[in-house]
């Protein structure tokens, strides 16, 4: 993590600290050396053994920012985590470690995040600059029935990760949800009042609070319902609709109540990388709560009709349901205002739903047939 304390920003223009464990006392000592003893290094950094080393005078801050950064991604076997891991591994400026549990394999590290000792060891061994915390119990109906398991994953494991990150001088990006809102007054800004309607939303809101209470420099990114590259159709609440649309041998009911903003995981992965880059360049600019969402609105019924159109299949058997029947109460419309995030990252990556859902399901079908 890069630091530029206010008392150093003017006298030592190029000073940069790679390891944030370097205390302000040591930075002050460098300031005094520079200005009162006429020592004029272009800059220094502290390696992992706390040894001060000079920065080559021909380097500048932009060069330093291109140095390899270490990133841990939790939930790297999941729908979002896989996309985030792929995005960061595709760029050589990031050294990445993906954490998983039930499906961990290949290059992923298997760890139970509810095991504090095991989690601490894995994170300390890797010494990340950034932890992107995607892992969660994210199915609302399961959260209603398994409250303790939900608490352990969404709140207690989050606290453990944030505590470890703080001791290492790393920062955490905690993935949260639009379900922290009650859906009565959209669109919602990051600062708007929260009022979750179900235990999933409550647990994620508590996770947000823990993340920012442990270190106010951490980041929360709220996202809505997701789809993207899938391992199974039921991995996403969006792609599972295709299964019922494609089977026209029996009628099916689809909710025509809650408004959804399906968001492509590849778009979120790009947003996360850009937030990390901005955070490393200016830690004060990127902290607190951010939001990202697709910009097309559908009910599940409307999504089903669109999927049928994209895949040119009959939807005569798909019927609209206007009465809720789920275990967990769902908010009607939690549209997220993403303007703050767009301003910070300087772009608006949005995958058109028709294109995104076609690629997601077609790629899955092709893999399944091979």
φ/ψ (deg, to 5) at 264: -80, 130
| Section 186-192 average pLDDT | 98
Does 318 score more than 50 pLDDT?
Answer: yes
Q: Tell me: the pLDDT tens digits for 326-339?
A: 778 899 999 999 99
Determine contact, residues 303/241, Cβ cutoff 8 Å.
Answer: yes
Do 137 and 16 fall into the same domain?
no
pTM of the model: 0.82
- CA distances (Å), origin 270, targets 41, 143, 316: 36, 29, 37
pLDDT at 113: 96
Quick check: is 120 in a domain?
Answer: yes
**pLDDT band, residue 203 (cuts 50/70/90):** very high
Quick check: is 305 in a domain?
Answer: no
pLDDT at 118: 96
Domain that holds residue 60: 6-64
| Section 222-240 average pLDDT | 96
**pLDDT band, residue 36 (cuts 50/70/90):** very low
Do 58 and 195 fall into the same domain?
no
Tell me the CATH number at 212: 3.40.50.720
Give the dihedral sign, CA 340/343/344/347.
positive
Do 205 and 82 fall into the same domain?
yes
Q: Tell me: the pLDDT tens digits for 278-289?
A: 999 988 899 999
Q: Tell me: the pLDDT tens digits for 134-155?
A: 999 888 888 988 999 999 999 9
Share of the chain above pLDDT 70, in %: 81
| Section 224-250 average pLDDT | 95
| Buried-exposed string 29-43: b where 16+ CB fall within 10 A, e elsewhere | ebbeebeeeeeebbb
Q: Tell me: the pLDDT tens digits for 105-139?
A: 678 999 999 999 999 999 999 999 999 999 998 88
Do 165 and 224 fall into the same domain?
yes
Give the dihedral sign, CA 208/124/107/93.
positive
Quick check: is 35 in a domain?
Answer: yes
Residues whose CB falls within 8 Å of the CB of residue 155, separated by 6 or more in sequence, listed in order: 203, 206, 207, 210
Q: Which of 24, 9, 4, 16 is nearest to 46 (CA)?
A: 16
Do 125 and 78 fall into the same domain?
yes
φ/ψ (deg, to 5) at 155: -120, -60
Quick check: is 309 in a domain?
Answer: no
């Amino acid at each position: 993590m890069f630091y530029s304390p206010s008392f150093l920003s003017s006298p030592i223009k190029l000073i940069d600290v790679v390891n944030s464990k370097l205390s302000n006392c040591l930075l002050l000592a460098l300031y005094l050396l520079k200005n009162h003893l006429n020592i004029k290094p272009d800059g220094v950094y502290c390696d992992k053994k706390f040894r001060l080393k000079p920065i080559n005078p021909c380097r500048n801050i932009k060069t330093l920012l291109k140095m390899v950064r270490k990133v841990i991604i939790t939930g790297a076997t999941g729908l979002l985590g896989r996309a985030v891991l792929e995005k960061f591994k595709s760029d050589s400026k990031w050294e990445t470690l993906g954490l998983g549990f039930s499906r961990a394999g290949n290059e992923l590290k298997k760890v139970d995040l509810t095991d504090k000792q095991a989690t601490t060891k894995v994170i300390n061994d890797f010494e990340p600059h950034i932890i992107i915390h995607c892992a969660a119990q994210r199915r609302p109906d399961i959260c209603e029935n398994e409250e303790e398991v939900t608490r352990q994953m969404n709140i207690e494991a989050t606290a453990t990760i944030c505590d470890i990150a703080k001791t290492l001088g790393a920062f955490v990006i905690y993935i949260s949800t639009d379900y922290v809102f009650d859906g009565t007054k959209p669109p919602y800004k990051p600062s708007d009042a929260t009022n979750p309607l179900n235990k999933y939303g409550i647990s994620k809101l508590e996770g947000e609070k823990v993340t920012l209470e442990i270190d106010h420099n951490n980041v929360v990114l709220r996202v809505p319902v997701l789809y993207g590259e899938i391992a199974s159709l039921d991995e996403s609440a969006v792609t599972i609709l295709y299964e019922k649309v494609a089977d026209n041998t029996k009628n099916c009911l689809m909710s025509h109540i809650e408004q959804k903003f399906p968001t492509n995981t590849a778009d979120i992965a790009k947003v996360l990388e850009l937030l990390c880059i901005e955070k490393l360049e200016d830690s004060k600019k990127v902290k607190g709560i951010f939001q990202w969402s697709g910009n097309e609105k559908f009910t599940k019924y409307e999504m089903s009709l669109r999927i049928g159109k994209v895949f040119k299949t009959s939807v005569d058997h798909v019927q609209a349901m206007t009465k809720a029947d789920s275990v967990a109460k769902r908010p009607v419309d939690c549209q997220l205002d993403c303007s703050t995030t767009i301003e910070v990252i300087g772009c608006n990556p949005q995958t058109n739903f028709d294109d995104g859902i076609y690629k997601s399901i077609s790629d899955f079908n092709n893999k399944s047939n091979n």
